Structure 1
Amino acid sequence: MVSFLLRRLLAGITLVLLVASATFVMLNFTGADIARNIVGETATPEQAWAKATELGLDEPLALRYIEWLGATLTGDLGKSWFTTVPVGTTLQTALPVTLSIILGALIISALVSVVLGSLAAVRAGWFDKTVQFSAVLADAVPGFLVALALALVIAVNFGWLPATGYVPYQRSVVEWLRSITLPSIALAFGAIAATTLQLRGSMFDVLQRDYVRTLRSRGLTENSIVFKHALRNAAPPALTVLSLQFIGLVGGAVIVEKVFGLRGIGSLATAAAVQGDAPVVLGVVIVMVLLVVAVNLVADLAYGWLNPKVRAE
């Protein structure tokens, strides 16, 4: 297990380095005049050149890459070119917002998928067909439509939950939960569909195995067979799908944050990309790739816990 963790960590670090390096290179071939964007159109060429020199944009690309890599490896992500605020400070403010709604979406997806997928596999007929049709339909509906519908109906019309804004959990756990509920539900909509279908298929296959028939012959209840025995064997494929959904949730968070007025990583990355704020973009890329690596590692560990054969290998 230790060697497995070390191999995955090494692969994860390599992936972060490759993605961040590729992003650094691509940001330097956008053709945008960053110094001119910072000083404004009314500035003189001398002022624009002075700003470019200050930012080190007049240096060769290879030298700038070495300097950036050295600073990044020490934990220094630099400062925003437009606000001069340290990138680490900006990420500390935006990251909890995005992580809150993504983790909320993952939890909602897992719980709903387990219930619907298991029941669909057990109860054939109209219920199974309804779940499959609903899952396909939910997967086809754009996330921003779900977010708008929830905001209008639940927040605006009924006033049950806030329509915009984010409350840190340090201030109030209850208000924090209220502020992330609707964004998390909107974000989880598509993930529920994919995970439910995967779990339904896996559960259906598991319930046809010999050991399940043996358990039934011993008089165990259907709920005990499904949720205590069959679910453990059916969960790994669905867990893989759910971990892959994390990447999609990161992308979907950009739209959801816009609808609910949240200042998270998605909004930060969009604004920085439009401005050409390279230090912020690179900081966001590094953090998000690290999160993807961490989620995949946790999924692998959970897979090994659910499947002893994986641990033996």
Structure 2
Amino acid sequence: MLKLILHRLALSVPLLFVVTFLTFLLNALSPGDLAQTILQGQGTPAQVAALRHQIGLDQPLIVQYAAWAGHALHGDLGSSAYTGEQVWDLVVGRMGVTLSIMVGVLIVCLLAGVSLGILSALKGGAIGRVIDVLSLGGLVFPSFWVALVFISFFAVTLQWFPATGYTPFADDPGMWLAGLVLPVLAAGLHSITSVAKQTRDSMSDVMGRDFIRALRATGLPTSTIVVKHALRNASLPLVTVLGLVMVAAITGTVFVEKVFVLPGLGSLAVDATQKFDIYVLQGVTLFFTVLTILINLIVDLSYGWLNPKVRVS
């Protein structure tokens, strides 16, 4: 197991460099730059050139990236060009909001998605068709549109939940939870139906196998057969989908945090992109990439835990 972990982490190191360099490159290719944004378009060409030289933007791109990467390897992610705050402190201070949304999406997908999938596999009929319709709707309607609809109906019309803003857990646990309900549902609505469809398909396949019929013949209750035997055998494809759901939730948080005005890493990335604050953007990109690597690693380890054949191979 340790060998697998080390192997996966070693393969992930080049990915970190590729993703962060591409972020650096795309930021450099986009119209405008940090110097012009700081001067708000009011500086003379000489002032812009002087500021570019001061912050190192006149150096070749590879030199700029090498300097950032060298500092990053020593734990220094730089500082914001606008606030002067350390990027590490900015990322750590906001990661709790983003992780809260992602964990919420995972919990909702496991509770609602798996339950609907099992129910659909056992009962079939109308429930399966409803799940298919909801899945299609999740593909058609993006998360930011769903977020706006949720705000309009649940926050403005019904006034059940706050429309925007974030309350730290330490200040008020109840308001913290209430403030996360709509963002989590907006980010995870399509994921719930995806998990439900995968659970339904996998469970339908497993429930038709010979060992399930043998267990039924012994007189075991259906609930015991489903929970202890069928669900475990159907879980490998489900784990794969859950991994994809969590990776997709990273993108979903970017839009959802902006709509709900949440101080998370997604909104931080958007603000940094608009301001060409490259060090902050690099810090967020690095965190999201590491998070993606960890999610994939957990999925790989789950395969071995759920299926001894995978662990042996």
TM bin, normalised by shorter chain, reads: over 0.9
Distance 1:44 1:147 in 2: 42
Distance 2:127 2:189 in 1: 19
Deviation at 1:66, TM superposition (A): 2.0
Q: Do structure 1's residue 301 and structure 2's residue 301 form an aligned pair?
A: yes
* Structure 1 pair 142–42 and aligned structure 2 pair: CA distance change class (3 A): closer
Question: Is the partner of 1:215 in helix, strand or coil?
Answer: helix
Query: Which of 22-31 and 268-277 deviates more?
Result: 22-31
* Structure 1 pair 215–285 and aligned structure 2 pair: CA distance change class (3 A): same
In structure 2, the partner of 1:60 is 60
In structure 1, the partner of 2:11 is 11
In structure 2, the partner of 1:161 is 161
In structure 1, the partner of 2:125 is 125
Q: 1:108–1:188: 8 Å Cα contact kept in structure 2?
A: yes
Query: Which of 16-25 and 285-294 deviates more?
Result: 16-25
2:88 is aligned with what amino acid? Answer: G
In structure 2, the partner of 1:273 is 273
1:103 is aligned with what amino acid? Answer: V
* Structure 1 pair 141–29 and aligned structure 2 pair: CA distance change class (3 A): closer
Q: 2:247–2:295: 8 Å Cα contact kept in structure 1?
A: no
In structure 1, the partner of 2:172 is 172
* Structure 1 pair 148–64 and aligned structure 2 pair: CA distance change class (3 A): closer
In structure 2, the partner of 1:188 is 188
Query: Which of 83-92 and 95-104 deviates more?
Result: 83-92
In structure 2, the partner of 1:223 is 223
Matches within 5 A, 1:24-103: 24-103=24-103
Distance 1:66 1:204 in 2: 52
2:20 is aligned with what amino acid? Answer: A
* Structure 1 pair 14–120 and aligned structure 2 pair: CA distance change class (3 A): same
1:136 is aligned with what amino acid? Answer: L
In structure 1, the partner of 2:136 is 136
Q: Do structure 1's residue 233 and structure 2's residue 233 form an aligned pair?
A: yes
Distance 1:16 1:170 in 2: 34
Q: Do structure 1's residue 288 and structure 2's residue 288 form an aligned pair?
A: yes
In structure 2, the partner of 1:204 is 204
Deviation at 1:62, TM superposition (A): 3.1
Distance 1:135 1:23 in 2: 32
Cα deviation code 1:106-165 (max 9, x no counterpart): 110121111011111111223333333333334433322322232222222332222211
Distance 2:258 2:30 in 1: 25
Question: Is the partner of 1:28 in helix, strand or coil?
Answer: helix
Deviation at 1:31, TM superposition (A): 4.6
Distance 1:22 1:146 in 2: 30
Cα deviation code 1:274-305 (max 9, x no counterpart): 22111111111101001111111112222221
2:148 is aligned with what amino acid? Answer: L
Cα deviation code 1:236-294 (max 9, x no counterpart): 10111111122221222222122222122221111211221111111111010011111
* Structure 1 pair 128–25 and aligned structure 2 pair: CA distance change class (3 A): closer
Unaligned regions of 5+ residues in structure 1, if any?
A: none
Distance 2:62 2:139 in 1: 44
Question: Is the partner of 2:82 in helix, strand or coil?
Answer: coil
Distance 2:276 2:162 in 1: 33
Q: How many residues align?
A: 313
* Structure 1 pair 203–36 and aligned structure 2 pair: CA distance change class (3 A): same
Q: 1:139–1:189: 8 Å Cα contact kept in structure 2?
A: no
Deviation at 1:61, TM superposition (A): 2.8
Q: 2:77–2:86: 8 Å Cα contact kept in structure 1?
A: yes
Distance 2:185 2:265 in 1: 18
Distance 2:211 2:95 in 1: 46
* Structure 1 pair 225–287 and aligned structure 2 pair: CA distance change class (3 A): same
* Structure 1 pair 146–22 and aligned structure 2 pair: CA distance change class (3 A): closer
Deviation at 1:86, TM superposition (A): 1.6
* Structure 1 pair 124–26 and aligned structure 2 pair: CA distance change class (3 A): closer
Q: 1:169–1:176: 8 Å Cα contact kept in structure 2?
A: yes
TM-score w.r.t. structure 1 length?
Answer: 0.94
1:205 is aligned with what amino acid? Answer: D
Distance 2:62 2:185 in 1: 45
Distance 1:126 1:152 in 2: 29
Aligned CA-pair RMSD: 1.7
Q: 1:139–1:193: 8 Å Cα contact kept in structure 2?
A: no
1:100 is aligned with what amino acid? Answer: S
Query: Which of 159-168 and 116-125 deviates more?
Result: 159-168
Identity %: 40
Unaligned regions of 5+ residues in structure 2, if any?
A: none
Distance 2:179 2:268 in 1: 19
